[in-house]
Amino acid sequence: TLAISDRGSGVDPASLTVTVDGNQADASYDATTGKATVALVAPSVGTHQLSVTVADFQESKNMESVPGILPNTTTFAASFTVG
């Protein structure tokens, strides 16, 4: 479970993508709690790589050709170990 928030336009749940060891994983976002849940089915013993990418509702309105506009998409990466 991961906490995800955006104080501006809000987290766009449709933009949530999660990979584990480079493979897409099922994930869902609950706007009420601000938490994303990643479904892992019997991960193997060892160290794994998690990558989460999510955008806010403003992302689709950005004009990427204009300098100085900050992207509204972020990526979180971490490793975790299953013993």
Over 80: is that where the pLDDT of 5 sits? yes
Q: Are 36 and 5 in contact (CB under 8 A)?
A: no
CB-based contact 29:35 (threshold 8 Å): yes
Q: What percent of the chain has pLDDT over 70?
A: 84
Give the mean pLDDT of 53-70.
66
Longest Cα–Cα distance in the chain: 48
The predicted pLDDT at position 7 comes to 85
How large is the average pLDDT for residues 1-18?
91
Smallest CA-to-CA distance from 56 within 12, 7, 15, 16 is with: 12
| Residue 25, CA distances (Å) to 10, 18, 77 in order | 23, 5, 14
Q: Residue 70: which pLDDT band, with cuts at 50, 70 and 90?
A: low
Q: What's the DSSP call for residue 70? A: P
Is the pTM here over 0.85, yes or no?
A: no
